Amino acid sequence: MSRPTFRLALAALALSIAAPGLAAQNCAVVSENFWKNDTLPQVPAGPLATAIIQGLCEGEAAAQVFTLGVGQPLQKINKVAIGFGHPLGASGFNANTDVEIYDGVTFNGTQAILGPKVFDLNDDLQSDMQVVTHGINELDLSGQNIVVGNDPSRKFVIAFRMSINPNGDCPSGFPINFFTDYDGLSTGCTTTPQTSLIDSPDFGGWVDASTAQLLGFNICGGFINAFNGNWVIRACSEDVGGSPTGQFVDLGFGLAGTFAPTLAGNGSLVGGASFNLEWAGLPPFGTTFLVVGVSTLFAPFKGGTLVPKDDLIISLPTGLGALVLPASMPVGLPSNVSIWLQSWTPDAGGPVGFDATNALELITP
């Protein structure tokens, strides 16, 4: 079957008022993490304005990007949900959709480059999810062991690809379709940048809906207003412990004095293998101290005890502005430990007396 296109002429917004019985989306247990970028209540009640995106055709997909917090462990996805609506809030209209989950995303302008696909409902379970108007439809995935958070971007993507929508056609539009939280009151673009994605041949693949263009005009707000708001796509997840293995994760926490140096790492700590550390923006004077610690509970700020490795506190002259240091760790590190690195440079002229880089973390397998 040939793929339809996201047609400009069909992209007008259709506002719908959700009936009081709008299906709710909630997590199974309090300890689960609830993910959403839309502004609708977690458990909707009473009439709520939403915007149905009529231009999304069969074979095309809507997605939301979610970002793990600093130090947040890997996540197991237990449930996903999406809003599917009727312009009048009527119930009982159905469609079938695939569910795709990706670990990670980066952006090249408006184009979204998705990370590894870790789940596909069609491919993995040979099934579709049936969605019904007018509400937020849920799918339980707790038995699938879908883990995200390993990608260096620390983001994951929940996508719904429309398989069969009998409520319209691509040439004239699908008035019954996925919806966003747009209330119709703003003429500008209310979509949060780099969160709501669309996959359509007209855009050459996955794009950021807040900046995507057709015929030289942004589809979000303005003259076209083909898309507005944030997809009502949600998820529930549980912590599965630990951080990504085999790669450095940037934890943030830098303290800028006069300067704002940064620290980056690549390589492996397994079995004493070598890795590289790279600084940028160092002060043109003084000495930088690289502090290395080991925590058995995946970094000190998560409640573990940081054990400084005195033999790994490295001092090096600054003044180059940027440098690369080959380093190595002792052979025989235990598995499932967190290696934590941060660099500090005294700065008597700065407001806090020193400049600190961001911290890095790497988990041994």
Tens of pLDDT along 265-281?
766 554 445 566 777 77
Count of Cβ atoms closer than 10 Å to residue 194 Cβ: 18
**Residue listed under structure tokens 């940028």:** 280
Q: What is the mean pLDDT of residues 110-137?
A: 95
**Residue listed under structure tokens 């942004």:** 218
pLDDT digit string (tens) for 4-44? 344 322 233 444 444 333 444 678 777 899 999 999 988 87
Structure tokens at 53: 């995106």
214: pLDDT strictly greater than 60: yes
Secondary structure (3-state) at 121: helix
Beta carbons of 142 and 79 less than 8 angstroms apart: yes
What is the per-residue pLDDT for 267?
Answer: 61
pLDDT over 70 for what percent of the chain? 72
Beta carbons of 8 and 224 less than 8 angstroms apart: yes
Reported as a pLDDT band with limits 50, 70 and 90, residue 322 is very low
Q: Is pLDDT larger for residue 122 or for residue 259?
A: 122
Secondary structure (3-state) at 301: helix
pLDDT digit string (tens) for 166-200? 999 988 889 999 999 998 887 789 999 999 999 99
Is the domain covering 249-363 a CATH 2.60.40.1940 domain? yes
Beta bridge partners of 361: 249, 340
Hey, where are the domains in the chain? 8-239, 249-363
pTM over 0.75? The answer is no
Q: Is pLDDT larger for residue 59 or for residue 358?
A: 59
What is the per-residue pLDDT for 202?
Answer: 87
What is the per-residue pLDDT for 335?
Answer: 56
Would the CA dihedral through 166, 171, 174, 179 be positive or negative? positive
Find the range with the poorest average confidence among 73-82, 202-211, 288-297, 340-349: 288-297
Q: Dihedral (C-alpha) 324, 155, 13, 82: value to the nearest 10 degrees?
A: 170
Structure tokens at 131: 């969605």
